[in-house]
Amino acid sequence: MYPMCRLIINNLRLSHRNNKSIHSSSILNTFWEKDDKGGYKTKTQVPMKERLRLGLQELKQEIALWTQELKEDFENDPVLVYRPGETDIVWKFGTEESLKQWVVTCDSDHGEGFSTCGLTLSNNGQGLLSGELSTRVPKDGRVKRAGYCNIRTLRARKSFKREAYLNWVAYNMLVLKVRGDGRSYMLNINTRGYYDVLWNDMYHYVLYTRGGPYWQVTKIPFSKFFMSSKGRVQDRQYPIPLNKVTNFGISVGDKINGPFSLEIDYIGLEYDPNHTEEFAYEQYKAPKYIVST
């Protein structure tokens, strides 16, 4: 028994030494991200005097927005009855002011490709998303895939820079009036949460365009949208939390080199009582460590 006790004591001493070395090492925060842009260094340092000057300029606008919010709280009644067949327009193009509600990005903005795009007013006065898609990869040994362009709405907010959510619970259809070029575009609905593991949760569906000179009105049920995170489609799917919508966007990345053009009149919402589907994708429980969640 004595050799066995001696072996146990030696093992305990070795374990104690290993624990000391583990505790003295640096902490690895695997699931924590300090940058919500995924690592892009887009923030610039602004001097304090410049921030004060810009803040005072915006104060008047924020007070006017706060006054408008108070008026809406007293005047508007909650929606008690659905209005089938009526489209409530959320984003309408036609003026330069309407373009300021959108942010345009592409792979060349971050040095990860050679695509170009822009959002302007067309000759007819509607919004025009156009540019040229390029799948050519920079020769830096880091980027493996390229070729995307995207527009996204600004985050919904209240006065004094308070972030808010868009509440679409009363609707079950997304309605778009567009005139495309025959390409396929990706519609994106973002439901950014407070924690970093929820920053990149997004729901997608494909917008197929006919091309040609005619407008098309496309109605897409929210039940058809599928969930992804950081560009990866998740095995475990969930319906859109329609009371937590933060942004809406349109992307082009169909790997076809060349120019693209999508003219947009409006983007709206609708309630269709004939559509009773809650979620289009099968819900199943897979064994642990088999699928990613």
128: number of Cβ within 10 Å? 19
Query: Which tokens go with 138?
Result: 């920079």
Q: How far apart are CA 85 and CA 274, in angstroms?
A: 10
Q: How far apart are CA 178 and CA 219, in angstroms?
A: 11
Residue 14 predicted with pLDDT over 50: no
Reported as type and span, the H/E element at residue 184 is strand 184-190
Digit-coded pLDDT (tens) for 234-251: 888 889 999 999 999 999
Digit-coded pLDDT (tens) for 99-116: 999 999 999 988 889 999
- Rounded mean pLDDT, 47-67: 82
Which of the four pLDDT bands, split at 50, 70 and 90, describes residue 81? very low
User: Which pLDDT score, from 0 to 100, does residue 267 have?
Assistant: 96
pTM of the predicted model as reported, rounded to 2 decimal places: 0.76
Q: In what order do the strands lie in the sheet with 184-190?
A: 102-106, 149-153, 247-252, 184-190, 201-208, 226-229, 232-233
Residue 30 predicted with pLDDT over 70: no
> Domains in the chain and their CATH numbers?
50-270 (2.60.120.430)
Residue type, 13: R
Query: Cα-flanking dihedrals φ and ψ of residue 185, to 5°?
Result: -115, 155
Point out the least confidently predicted range of 77-86, 159-168, 206-215, 252-261. Answer: 77-86
Residue 54 predicted with pLDDT over 70: yes
Residue 263 predicted with pLDDT over 90: yes
Which of the four pLDDT bands, split at 50, 70 and 90, describes residue 25? very low
What's the mean pLDDT when you consider all of the chain?
82
- Nearest 5°: CA angle at 98, between 94 and 104? 115
